[in-house]
Each structure stands twice: as structure tokens, then as C-alpha cells.
Structure 1
Amino acid sequence: MGLICSTAQLACLCGSTACSFCCSQCPTCRNSTSTRIMYALLLMLGTIAACITLAPGLQDALKKVPFCNTNSSNYMPSDFTIDCQSAVGYLAVYRICFIIALYFFLMSIMMIRVRSSKDPRAPIQNGFWAIKYLLIIGGIIGAFFIPERSFGITWMYFGMIGGFLFIIIQLILIVDFAHTWADNWVGNYEETESKGWYAALLGATLFNYAVAITGIVLLFIYFTHADSCDLNKFFISFNLILCVIVSTISTLPHVQEHNPRSGLLQSSIVSLYVVYLTWSGISNNSDHECNPGFLEIISGNDANARNRVAFDKESIIGLIIWFSCVLYSSLRTASKSSKITMSENILVKDNGAVRNAGDQSLIGNEDYTPVEGRNVDSEAGNEAKVWDNEEDAVAYNWSFFHLMFALATLYVMMTLTNWYQPNSNLDTLNSNNASMWVKIISSWMCLGLYVWSLIAPAVFPDRDFS
């Protein structure tokens, strides 16, 4: 429903007629939901544009454009030419993501300490979509005129730091997702005592562990050798041992006593993600003998094959996980697991606002606490479509939301470029040991965060985590 409402907001970019027609066909939804999805859509469009610049053959196609040709033409004077290599490749991804990240950083600063939609800055958050898109498009065009010089290397380090910070947010969301999944399925099993739910729990757990173990075996086969690759062996073995320890902790009686629904389902999800982070980390190892993927890239003679480096399996899986986390944070409502995983600022809170707070049919219900939700359409005598549920209190931290999306943009930038050092023509690629350590440390942080979510209720029994 939120996506449909966001489509209605997007139609408003095309004029009032398109907006009215689209809104008339849509169901009602909360303004906080539609706004978050609109920003997620903006981020997705930017990601698609960055992917297009990495498409094989695009550089050859640009050479046919008059102002990209070094020779004079009938259309452009010979002194009006640009180097179209800067319009494709890794540096093009950097330039596009630079503008999008800058936009979200500025929005994050502008939305500091906004408490409700009564704030004068609220229309900037929830409206002016045509202006926002035009500003970003203009900024991206201008970014291609930034001199190359040290831009790529400098922005790479910013991207690495921002990507690491987003991975931490991603860890929080994945741990929250694991707890929520287990809470729902275990709760359904306890209520119904259905063998179907028991089979689903057991099947999902075994499947996750089977995939994780298969991943560990494949990492040993393809990223280690009998007499070398000791660092890769350490990372794989150490993370395997940690996953076993974490799985054991989740089943301890003392942990089960304070967190009855903790179990192997959550541990299997976290273990699977840790295996992915391990693979992603050692894939950036600069030791080419222990990195078959990178060795294949640098030894190939096909230029198009080098261009396709940004679309390898690691990048695709990374983008799928990234998009799932962004969409999850845009639609997910904070629950009791958010208190343990510290994700209350990331997920939407239920502030109690309901549409048509004065509905007589709801009055008298002991569970009903009306919070007025203003709607401009209703005040004008029209049927409400997107209604304001944040007049008394915001449903999420606006400033932190934009900061998270800025970091998500930097993560996309680093993922599309495989965390390598940038080169505009992709003739040479440089692996990056720093990115290897970023991902390996992230895997340890993921396990640490999950263990904390298990033992926190036992360590602080007086604190309410329910």
C-alpha cells in the first residue's frame, strides 16, 4: 500500500492533473510511510543510473557522440570536446553517488530536532518532490565536471568509512529481522501447536545452516591452498568457530529463561550472513594467489570482461541484501526486538496516530487512544488519501533516516566498484586490503551484536525488554 501511495506522490511530479488522477485511484496510507518509500525510490533510481554507467559497451557508444570525438565535426567545434571516459566506469559511479550522498547529508542536517509535522521544515521533508529530483539531476550533471585529480582516491576513503557505518546499521536490521522472524513463527507455533509451523521452523533452520556450511566448504576450496593463504584460513576457521559458539549460546538454559523465543533459527540467519561477509572480505584480499576471482580479472585480455567486474556475484548479492535492508527499514514498524537490537531510531514507531480520530465507531474501545491525524484533503472536503500521522510526534527520526540513506549511498558506491581503488577507464584494478578488514571486522561485530541481544535480558534482568 505504501508503494502505491508513493506512486501517487511521484505522479505529482508530472502536474496536478496526473497527481489528482493517480491519487483518486489509490488507497489511504500514512504520510510517514509514503515519504520513506519515496526516498527509497530516489535512492533506487540513483543506483540504477550508477549501474548504467558500468554497462559494457557504453564507452564505445559515447565515442560516437559529437562532443566526445576528438576530431572536429559539423556539429561541434574542435575546441569543444570532453573526455567521455569520465562519464563511464568507476569514477562515474563515484560522481553520481557523491551528489546523492551529499543531498541526504544536507537533508540530515536540515532535519535535526524536528519533533512533529508542525515544524516549518516538515514540507521540505514530505513534499517538493519535483524540485528535489531536479536538484539531484542538475547536481549529477555538474559532478561530471569535477576534475579527476585526487577526487577518486579521496572520495574512496569517505566511501569506505560510510560503507562500514552502513554495514553496522545493516547488521542491526538483520539481527532485528532474525528476532522478528523467530518471534512470529515461534509465537504462531505456541498458539496453534500446529505441526506445520514446527516443520517450517525446523526446515528454515536446517536450510540456513546447510547453506552456511556449504559456503564454508566452498571458501576453503576456492580461497585457500594447502601450503599458503594462512590469513584466509584463519578468517574462515575463526568465523566458523564463532558461529558454533553463538549457536550454542542461543540454546543455553539461562538465556532461554530470560528470552524464551531465542533459538537456532536466529543463529542460523546470523551465521549465514557472517559466511557472506567472510566471502566478501576475503574476495578483497590483495594476495592474488588466494583470490581466484581477482586473479581471473587481472589476467584476462577482454576489456569488456573487465568492465563487467562490477556485476559479479558478490556485488549482486550485496545489492540484494542492501535493497532488502533499505526496504525493510522503510516499511518495518519497531517492535519489542528493537529495544534489544537498538534499532528504534531506524524503524518506524507506532505513535498511536490513526486516520479519522473522531470516528464514532472507535470511541468506547478500551484499546483505542485517538491521536488526531490532520489531512489537507479532508479539510478541503475531499476524500483523504495520504494523511498526516505525525502532527503530534514524528514516527521516525527524520535526521537519522537521511543519515542512514547517505551511508547507504556510500555503501552502494563501494559495492558497485567492488571496494577497489577507482580508475576511470578500468584498464587497471587495485584490490584493497582495507576493505577486506572492514568486512571481516563487520562479521565479528555482527556476531557480537547478536550475542548481546541474547544475553542482555539475562545480564540486566531488571530492565524491561518486552
Structure 2
Amino acid sequence: MGLVCSTAQLACLCGSTACSFCCSQCPSCRNSTSTRIMYALLLMLGAIAACITMAPGLQNALKKVPFCANSSSNYVPPETVNCEAAVGYLAVYRICFILSLFFFLMSVIMIRVKSSHDPRAAIQNGFWAIKYLLIIGGIIGAFFIPERSFGSTWMYFGMLGGFLFIIIQLILIVDFAHTWADAWVGTYEETESKRWYAALLGTSVFNYTFSITGIVLLYIYYTHPSECALNKFFISFNLILCVITSIISILPTVQEHQPRSGLLQSSIVTLYVVYLTWSGISNSPDSACNPGFLPGISNNDIKNRVTFDKESIIGLMIWFSCVLYSSLRTASKSSKITMSENVLVQDNGAVRNEGEQSLIDNEDYTTVEGRNPDAEGGHVTKVWDNEEEKVAYNWSFFHLMFALATLYVMMTLTNWYQPNSDLKTLNANNASMWVKIISSWMCLALYVWSLVAPAIFPNRDFS
């Protein structure tokens, strides 16, 4: 429903007639939901634009962009990757630079907004055409930034922001695991249907089977009998931690305080940890232990490798799912345990009165920007304001989260590329390897905390 309303808001960029027509075709929805989805769509469109610059057919054309023309060998040593060799990656840096800057500025502007009565609510919930024009103009201007040290400096911001978003992503995934299990286990307890039991068991077995297969493949392709001690440690250590975590999830004490916890959540977390392990060791600069980085690679091969790989595609799919989940999902009873209540929309108790609903049924409505002031003139909007008393989410933190999400997608699209790095390790980076491995440990720690917290603090209300 929120997605349909957001599509109607998107039509407002084309004028009031298109806006009114689209709104007449969609059901009513909360302003908080519609606005979050609109920003998610904006972020998705930016990510798509960044992906297009990675297309192999555009590499030759992109060599003529201003930042490549302004680059000089005086700034890039001959033995390092020059602008032409990684022009796709550098274009992604510039697009994401403008997107993240936009969300950072919005985050600062929206600090301490308490309700939609604040004058800044109009900026948050409207003026979409102006926002898109500002971003498009900014991206065009960013292509005139000379390369020099821009890429290497912006990489460190991207790495820090990407790591922080991974933490948010971990919170969302753990919350998703608990929400999924609560829904399925609750349905099974109510219906006692064998189909739901089979679904619970089958999904858990599938996730664990897929995880074990992934571990075996990591041992085969990323280790050697006499080498790759660090990779062996990462794979083995994470495997042991996943086994311990799965055992904790079914302990009697944990089951007593959380009867719906079990192997379904553990299998989801285990599968994600296996992905993070693979993603981490695939960024290892050790060519002998990484089949993606072969010795003796030529410059032509480098140009061909400025593109997507399997790890990046999966990372983008997870990122896309988390962004949509954070935009659509309302905080549940498990959100206090997983700490996702600060990320998701809160139910602030706002309801639409019967008079407004009656006007909607009679199609007596208008569409407006911001706080919907037309409602005071006897008209209402299909997107109704549920934040007149209190905001349903922290507007400033929401934009900060999307700024970090932009930096994460930038690093994912560029394989955590380090500008001016060695030719043989274009897509390898020791720092990114440790970021992802540490993230896998943090994911398991967060999940274990969500399991044991009610048992450790029995007097605290986690509902």
C-alpha cells in the first residue's frame, strides 16, 4: 500500500494533474510510510545510476568525462591504476558522493524535529522535484572534480560509513530472523498444522545445508594444505561460533524466556555469517589464497574486471532487501531486544478519524506538500498525516542511515576498491577484509545477545 502511495507522490514531479490522477487510483496510507519509501526509491535510482556506469559498453565513453581529462600522471604514479583503468569505479564514487552528501545534509536539517507541525516537515515530506533536480545537478558537477586525491580520500569515508551501515544491516537481519520465526511459530501454535511444522523444519534444514555447502566451498577454493592459515582460521572460527550459537538458541533457559526462538533464526544468521566470511576472504590481497586475484594479471584484464562479481551482486541484493525492510517494517515486540526499534517505524498510535475517511470514500481529497494543510479547508489527502502529535521515526537518524547505506553500496559496487592501489590487487583490500570478518563476529554477538538478554535481565520489559 505504501509503495502505491509513494508512486503517486513520484507522479507529483510531473505536475499537479498527474499527481491528482495517481492519488485517485491508490488507497490511503500513512505519511511516514509513504515518505520513507520515497527516499528509498530515490536511493534505489541513485544505485541504479551508479550500476549503469559499471556497464562494459560505457567504459570507453566514460574516459572522456572531465575528471579523467583533468587527471594527470603527476598525481597518479605510473605503477598504479590510472583513471582510465578504473573510470567506472571512480564514476560510482562521484555519484555516491552527491547522494550521501544529500542525505547527510537532510540529517542535519531534520535534527530534533518532534512532529509534522515543525516548519521543516514540508522539506521532509515534499518538494520532490526540487530534490531530484538538486541531486542530478550535483552529480553532473561531481564529474568535474579532478581525480588527484579525491578517490583515495573518499574511500576512507566510504569504508567507515560502509562498516557502520553493516552494523545497521546486522540489526535488521537479526530482527528479520526473529520476526520470521515469531510469525511462523505463532501460526503453527494456533493452527497446529503439519504444513507449518514442515515449513519451519524444511527452511531450517535448507539454510543449514546451504551454509555447510558454502563452508566446504570456501575450504576448497580459498585454502591450500600448506598455505592460507589466516583464511583457514576465519572459516574454522566462524564455523565453530555458528555451531555454538545454534546450540545456545535451543538451551532450556533460552526457551523458557523465548519459547519461539530456535533453529530457524539460527539458520538465517548462520547463512548470513557464511556470506560475510566469503565476502571477507574474497577481499584478501593474498593472491595465492584468493582465486579472484591471480598473479601476473595484465592491465587489459584489470579493465575487464572493473565490473560486478558474484559477491557484489549478493551484497546488493541483501542491501536492497534491508533498505526496503527498514522502510516498510513497523517495530515489533522483538525490536527492543534486537535494538531495531531505533531503525524501524514506531506505532505512535495515530489513527485517522471517521470524518476524513468518509471524505476519502467520496473522493473529496487533494494532494499537497509537507504537512497537508488542505485538510484544514475541508479536504483530506490519500496520504494522511500520522505525525501531528509525534513523529513515527527519528527523521535525522533515518537520513543518516540512508547516507551510510549510500556509502555501503558505493563500496560494494567497487568491490571496496582502493584508488591508486597496486595493479594486481585492484579489488583487494586488507582493511575491507577485516571490516567484513569483524562484522560477522558482531552479527553473532548481536544474535546471542537477543537470545540471552531476557534470561540475564528477567525484570526488564523487552516486550
For normalisation by structure 1, the TM-score amounts to 0.89
Distance verdict in 2 for CA 1:146–1:191, change over 3 Å: same
CA contact (8 A) 2:356 2:380 kept: no
Q: CA deviation digits over 1:19-49, x for unaligned, max 9? A: 1111111211111011000100110111011
CA contact (8 A) 2:165 2:405 kept: yes
| Matched pairs, number | 440
CA contact (8 A) 1:297 1:305 kept: no
CA distance in 1 between partners of 2:148 and 2:226 (Å): 42
Structure-2 residue corresponding to 1:142: 141
Structure-2 residue corresponding to 1:229: 228
Which amino acid in 1 is paired with 2:59?
Q
Alignment pair present for 1:418 and 2:409: no
Distance verdict in 2 for CA 1:450–1:428, change over 3 Å: closer
Structure-2 residue corresponding to 1:398: 395
CA contact (8 A) 1:53 1:87 kept: no
Structure-2 residue corresponding to 1:384: 381
CA distance in 2 between partners of 1:359 and 1:463 (Å): 40
CA contact (8 A) 1:250 1:264 kept: yes
Q: CA deviation at 1:378?
A: 4.2
Q: CA deviation at 1:224?
A: 0.2
Distance verdict in 2 for CA 1:93–1:264, change over 3 Å: same
CA distance in 2 between partners of 1:326 and 1:297 (Å): 39
Which amino acid in 2 is paired with 1:33?
T
1:258-277 to 2 correspondence within 5 Å? 258-277=257-276
Structure-2 residue corresponding to 1:340: 337
Structure-2 residue corresponding to 1:58: 58
Q: CA deviation at 1:430?
A: 5.2
CA contact (8 A) 1:282 1:436 kept: yes
CA contact (8 A) 1:87 1:144 kept: no
Structure-1 residue corresponding to 2:458: 461
CA contact (8 A) 1:351 1:393 kept: yes
Which amino acid in 2 is paired with 1:171?
L
Distance verdict in 2 for CA 1:29–1:66, change over 3 Å: closer
Which amino acid in 1 is paired with 2:38?
M
CA distance in 1 between partners of 2:43 and 2:393 (Å): 18
CA distance in 2 between partners of 1:123 and 1:304 (Å): 45
Q: CA deviation at 1:88?
A: 3.9
Distance verdict in 2 for CA 1:42–1:359, change over 3 Å: closer
Q: CA deviation at 1:384?
A: 3.0
Structure-2 residue corresponding to 1:194: 193
For 2:114, what is the secondary structure of its paired residue?
coil
Q: CA deviation at 1:404?
A: 0.3
For normalisation by structure 2, the TM-score amounts to 0.90
Structure-2 residue corresponding to 1:48: 48
Q: CA deviation digits over 1:351-384, x for unaligned, max 9? A: 11112256899xxxxxxxxxxxx85454444453
Which amino acid in 2 is paired with 1:460?
F
Alignment pair present for 1:431 and 2:389: no
Alignment pair present for 1:207 and 2:206: yes
Structure-2 residue corresponding to 1:289: 288
Q: CA deviation digits over 1:397-439, x for unaligned, max 9? A: 1011000000000000000000121359x99715210000000
Distance verdict in 2 for CA 1:290–1:138, change over 3 Å: same
Q: CA deviation at 1:57?
A: 2.2
Q: CA deviation at 1:148?
A: 1.1
Q: CA deviation at 1:153?
A: 0.7
1:89-108 to 2 correspondence within 5 Å? 89-108=88-107
Q: CA deviation at 1:159?
A: 0.4
CA contact (8 A) 2:85 2:303 kept: no
Q: CA deviation at 1:294?
A: 2.2
Structure-1 residue corresponding to 2:108: 109
Alignment pair present for 1:349 and 2:346: yes
Distance verdict in 2 for CA 1:274–1:383, change over 3 Å: same
Structure-2 residue corresponding to 1:26: 26
Structure-2 residue corresponding to 1:369: none
CA contact (8 A) 1:243 1:271 kept: yes
CA distance in 2 between partners of 1:69 and 1:451 (Å): 52
Distance verdict in 2 for CA 1:65–1:41, change over 3 Å: closer
CA distance in 1 between partners of 2:372 and 2:202 (Å): 46
CA distance in 2 between partners of 1:163 and 1:330 (Å): 19
CA contact (8 A) 1:297 1:306 kept: no
Structure-2 residue corresponding to 1:165: 164
What's the Cα RMSD here? Answer: 2.6
Structure-1 residue corresponding to 2:78: none
Structure-2 residue corresponding to 1:80: none
Q: CA deviation at 1:293?
A: 1.2
CA distance in 2 between partners of 1:404 and 1:65 (Å): 31
For 2:337, what is the secondary structure of its paired residue?
helix
Which amino acid in 1 is paired with 2:7?
T
Which amino acid in 2 is paired with 1:404?
M
Q: CA deviation digits over 1:205-249, x for unaligned, max 9? A: 000000000000000000000110000000000000000000000
Alignment pair present for 1:449 and 2:446: yes
Q: CA deviation at 1:251?
A: 0.6
Q: CA deviation at 1:281?
A: 0.2
Which amino acid in 2 is paired with 1:271?
T
CA distance in 1 between partners of 2:460 and 2:225 (Å): 50
Give the % identical residues. Answer: 84
CA distance in 1 between partners of 2:2 and 2:342 (Å): 20
Which is further off, 289-298 or 168-177? 289-298
CA distance in 1 between partners of 2:407 and 2:67 (Å): 31
CA distance in 1 between partners of 2:228 and 2:23 (Å): 59
CA contact (8 A) 1:56 1:304 kept: no
Alignment pair present for 1:175 and 2:177: no
Distance verdict in 2 for CA 1:62–1:208, change over 3 Å: closer
Q: Which runs of 5+ in 1 are unaligned?
A: 71-82, 362-373
Q: CA deviation at 1:89?
A: 1.2
CA contact (8 A) 1:12 1:18 kept: yes
For 1:34, what is the secondary structure of its paired residue?
helix
Structure-2 residue corresponding to 1:4: 4
CA contact (8 A) 1:62 1:84 kept: no
For 1:93, what is the secondary structure of its paired residue?
helix
CA contact (8 A) 2:63 2:87 kept: no
CA distance in 1 between partners of 2:302 and 2:195 (Å): 52
Which amino acid in 2 is paired with 1:133?
Y
Structure-2 residue corresponding to 1:128: 127
Q: CA deviation at 1:66?
A: 12
Distance verdict in 2 for CA 1:192–1:150, change over 3 Å: same
